[in-house]
Structure 1
Amino acid sequence: MQRIAVVTGASRGAGKGIAIALGEAGMTVYVTARSLADADSPYGGTAVETANLVTKAGGTGIAVTVDHADDGAVKALFERIRHEHGRLDVLVNNAASLVTITDPGGFWEKPLKAVDLITVGLRSHYVASYYAAPLLIAGGRGLIVNTGHYGAVCYYHGPAYGAQKAGADKMAADMAKELRPHNVAAVSIWMGGLDTERARAYFASLPPEARPTAKRESPRFTGRVIAALYGSDQRMTLSGRALIGAELGAFLGVADIDGSRPISHRYAMGGPPELHPSLTS
């Protein structure tokens, strides 16, 4: 039986790589994004392009234009999936608005639009999960993943980014508690430095001597980890936790696309806090 997945915010970056990796695992992947054309972003990428790459990788890619600030559009997406499949197996919440957060200066000196990260990010994760949950339960075995980061526990890109990442971790923990009786897991997976279009453009703008030389994770690595976690008998044991992707990949025996093993940044940037026992039982 072909598994059904949704990856939000997948026109480029982490979402694109995750969607392609789930395609490699043979899944049907609904790819959501606002971008209709490459010109919509300085970094290029569209939902259609990603969906085509999912299909090329061995899955079935389905592009859906969704603004995740529009609850009605999100509801319509999951109603479509209910009509076409009657169930869902994997939801990856990755949609976010990253405008202005990397600009220099204090949060009070940046446009207020930076707080959109909490709307198209934290709130949109909740809304997508809200509409996905009945379909995940209907499938009898499900997984919700929030894409996370060490910024949940260390300073990184400022308060809006930190609040979004920390909130997404706790949201996954609480959703896991309520979904546990239905055999549906929820986790947050912390990604390391990714080799994305945005990152490459930023590093290219730096003087050669200032460009970092450390290897970066392929965005597809996280998708491979998600596919392995979905199929693992440890899925429900790990449910509710924020997990460092590099560590989870090592535990599940997952390598990056070049065969390397990404490293954990736990000791440089911090690790996920321990959950209260009420959240793990």
Structure 2
Amino acid sequence: MTNPAIAVVTGASRGAGKGIAIGLGEQGMTVFVTGRSIDHSDATGWDGKPLAGTIHETAAAITAAGGRGIAVACDHGDDAQIAALFDRVRAEAGRIDILVNNATHIHHQLIEQAPFWEKELAAVGIIDVGLRSAYVASWHAAKMMVEQGSGLIAFTSSFGASCYMHGPAYGAQKAGVDKLAHDMAVDFRPYGVRAVSIWLGPQITERALVAAEVNKEQYEGFMAMAEMPQFTGHIVHAIAADPNGDELSGHTLIGAEIAGRYGITDRGKTPPSHREMLGSPRDPNPAVVY
């Protein structure tokens, strides 16, 4: 796949998903962006105040960046809405070259420094919208990709798959999507479809900017090393367009490292990897048991 044209980015009203979608738009792609924020945002920052961002605003930003943005209202906790999303992509675009699974339930206590049992049980929602929802979206996308004989499914993950980060629910979701990429790549191998998981570094997002204000000591130095989400969008596009990209399928990749393969920088800089401090992805296991 030398010229990926059609992408779906889930959870793109704001945050990493929005930036990744704009990054794909900067490569000239048509990008379907999903989320629950349609006319206004119900999301709040760590200070409890509303966060800006809607799917229509993201779609407009993609178009302004040189691509074509298409907003699709979708609650990724509802399988029927996910199915309708991919029915629409098939009807309007006829194919899908890239799926970025980014939609994730962000509980308001996520970054609180407290043990998991002192947080609300609702924090486990990241397993439903984040892990399970990524499987469902991939299931639908896979059917189209296998038919066309090409495609890339990418999962946004983090070093929290390796180290303790934000508690066990967050860690389980990140480790889970890494394993989805690993195992889906095995099934995709005969069909020309790729699956990767990408560990993002700290992201400059609306919510992160609030966190940096609310938890100044905890986030000291955060902004100096944080990545713009568009950086990951450029990486995803490069992997999809790489004629030798099959060799990456099934791997969990550190974005700051794999970017060097393609000469991609973030605002002219190479972000730090954090491997030595936060851990390394697991290498793919070649064993296959049916």
Aligned to 1:35: 37
RMSD: 1.6
Contact 1:117 1:160 in 2 (8 A): yes
The number of aligned residues is 278
Contact 2:211 2:219 in 1 (8 A): no
**In 2: Cα distance, 1:209 partner to 1:76 partner:** 41
**In 2: Cα distance, 1:84 partner to 1:37 partner:** 23
Contact 1:149 1:165 in 2 (8 A): yes
Contact 1:2 1:28 in 2 (8 A): no
**In 2: Cα distance, 1:167 partner to 1:209 partner:** 26
**In 2: Cα distance, 1:246 partner to 1:56 partner:** 26
Go from structure 1 to structure 2 and tell me whether the alpha carbon gap of 1:237 and 1:106 turns closer, same or farther (over 3 Å shift): same
**In 2: Cα distance, 1:200 partner to 1:231 partner:** 32
Structure 1 unpaired stretches of 5+:
none
Aligned to 1:70: 78
Structure 2 unpaired stretches of 5+:
44-49
With 57-66 and 198-207 compared, the bigger mean Cα shift is at 198-207
Provide, for residues 61-104 of structure 1, a one-character-per-residue CA deviation record: whole Å limited to 9, x for no partner: 00001000000000001011111122110000000001122223
Q: How does 1:1-281 map to 2 (within 5 A)?
A: 3-41=5-43, 42-99=50-107, 100-206=109-215, 211-212=220-221, 214-256=224-266, 258-278=267-287
Go from structure 1 to structure 2 and tell me whether the alpha carbon gap of 1:250 and 1:109 turns closer, same or farther (over 3 Å shift): same
Provide TM-score, normalisation by structure 2.
Answer: 0.92
With 31-40 and 263-272 compared, the bigger mean Cα shift is at 31-40
Contact 1:51 1:61 in 2 (8 A): yes
Provide, for residues 98-135 of structure 1, a one-character-per-residue CA deviation record: whole Å limited to 9, x for no partner: 11222231111111110000000000000000111111
With 58-67 and 135-144 compared, the bigger mean Cα shift is at 135-144
Go from structure 1 to structure 2 and tell me whether the alpha carbon gap of 1:210 and 1:248 turns closer, same or farther (over 3 Å shift): closer
**In 2: Cα distance, 1:18 partner to 1:109 partner:** 33
Higher RCO (CA-CA < 8 Å; seq separation 6+): 2
Contact 2:225 2:272 in 1 (8 A): no
Go from structure 1 to structure 2 and tell me whether the alpha carbon gap of 1:91 and 1:210 turns closer, same or farther (over 3 Å shift): closer
With 51-60 and 206-215 compared, the bigger mean Cα shift is at 206-215
With 155-164 and 94-103 compared, the bigger mean Cα shift is at 94-103
- Name the % identity: 52
Contact 2:41 2:54 in 1 (8 A): no
Go from structure 1 to structure 2 and tell me whether the alpha carbon gap of 1:204 and 1:181 turns closer, same or farther (over 3 Å shift): same
Contact 1:89 1:139 in 2 (8 A): no
1:165 is displaced (CA, Å) by 0.3
* Amino acid paired to 2:101: N
1:153 is displaced (CA, Å) by 0.7
Go from structure 1 to structure 2 and tell me whether the alpha carbon gap of 1:162 and 1:209 turns closer, same or farther (over 3 Å shift): closer
**In 2: Cα distance, 1:161 partner to 1:229 partner:** 26
1:207 is displaced (CA, Å) by 5.1
Provide TM-score, normalisation by structure 1.
Answer: 0.95
* Amino acid paired to 2:198: I
1:278 is displaced (CA, Å) by 2.8
